Amino acid sequence: MKINSSVLLSKYIKAYTLKMVSKAKASHVGGGLSISDILAVLYNNILYFDSQKPLLENRDRFILSKGHCCAALYATLALKNFFTLRDLNSFAQFGSNFMSHASHKVKGVEFSTGSLGHGLPYAVGKAVAAKSRNKKWEVFVLLSDGELNEGSNWEATLFASHHNLNNLTIIVDYNKLQSLTTVEKTIKIEPLKDKFEAFGCYVSEVNGHDHEELKNSLSKTNKKNSPKVIIAHTVKGKGVSFMENRVEWHYKSPDEDQLETALNEIGVSL
């Protein structure tokens, strides 16, 4: 499928994410919907890659650290022709490579994730490798807000800043819901922008569903010789009225009627 518009791509990402999670009776659809616009902009406008050569040496590297939301990434990769849309039918099925947490066995997935706090340290290592080899490829990593409770992220950020890794972009999916409640009630992370700046990063805040804001922030030249951090304010369950800002959709899967309603709201027929 060839889709040139990031806005249209995000709708299809959401639609296939909903379909996969519903069919498999899986979880994490809310978080998948909150990152769909970010993924659409990254894969439509920012990342350099060749879907027919997924291991191309000079490709940009993208790591989904919040690996539980891999359905959205799998949908993106299928829509960008790394594999067929039919392959998505095996999502979360026994014996399938399309596991319910991100798996490197799937073409285009750089790193298996799911245990939170691992993606950023890995991304930092990739950024160091690029610098040490004088390679031009860049590294992008997408974290969840609740994941920032993990100390490994802050250690990795300190290391990245110390080594002036301006080829690293950290994106935080700041939907403000975490597991069973809000981020605020679990472990407060504010003032988030100030914290990243204190760690030596170049930080911007955007509406994580505004494609122009995302494009501008992701493509903007880093003003500092340091990692770039983009705090993307998002809505968990974005695009489906009965899922938006509802913590239960971290775990629930839509039944057939809910799936039909959701697809109608998104405006995509599969």
Give the torsion sign (CA, 45, 68, 87, 235): negative
Sign of CA dihedral 145, 146, 151, 156: negative
Tell me if 29 sits within 8 A of 236, measured CB to CB.
Answer: no
Beta bridge partners of 113: none
> How many angstroms separate the CA atoms of 193 and 206, rounded?
11
Which pair of tokens denotes residue 191? 């003032």
pTM for this structure?
0.97
89 to 17, 19, 24, 76, 92: CA distances (angstroms): 11, 9, 9, 14, 9
What are the phi and psi torsion angles at 72 (to 5°)?
A: -65, -40
> pLDDT digit string (tens) for 44-63?
999 999 999 999 999 999 99
Grouping H, G, I as helix, E, B as strand and the rest as coil, residue 160 is helix
In this model, does residue 224 exceed pLDDT 90? no
What pLDDT shows up at residue 3?
Answer: 86
Residue type at 122 in one-letter notation: Y
Q: What pLDDT score was predicted for residue 150?
A: 96
Contacts of 212 (CB under 8 A, 6+ apart): none
Distance CA 37, CA 195 (A): 25
Task: Give me the CATH topology for the region 6-266.
Answer: Rossmann fold (3.40.50)
Write the DSSP string, 7-58.
HHHHHHHHHHHHHHHHHHT-S-HHHHHHHHHHHHHIIIII----TTSTT-TT
Q: CA 73 → CA 20, 35, 109, distances in Å?
A: 12, 9, 8
Q: Residue 4's pLDDT band (boundaries 50, 70, 90)?
A: confident
Q: How confident is the model at residue 159 (pLDDT cuts 50, 70, 90)?
A: very high
pLDDT digits (tens, 9 = 90+) for 75-130: 999 999 999 999 999 999 999 999 999 999 999 999 999 999 999 999 999 999 99
pLDDT at residue 43 greater than cutoff 90:
yes
Name the residue ranges covered by the structural domains of the chain.
6-266
Whether the Cβ atoms of residue 22 and residue 101 lie closer than 8 Å to each other: no
Whether the predicted pLDDT of 2 surpasses 80: no
213: Cβ contacts below 8 Å, ≥ 6 apart? 206, 207
- DSSP letter assigned to residue 3: -
pLDDT digits 0-9 by tens, 164-195: 999 999 999 999 999 899 999 999 999 999 99
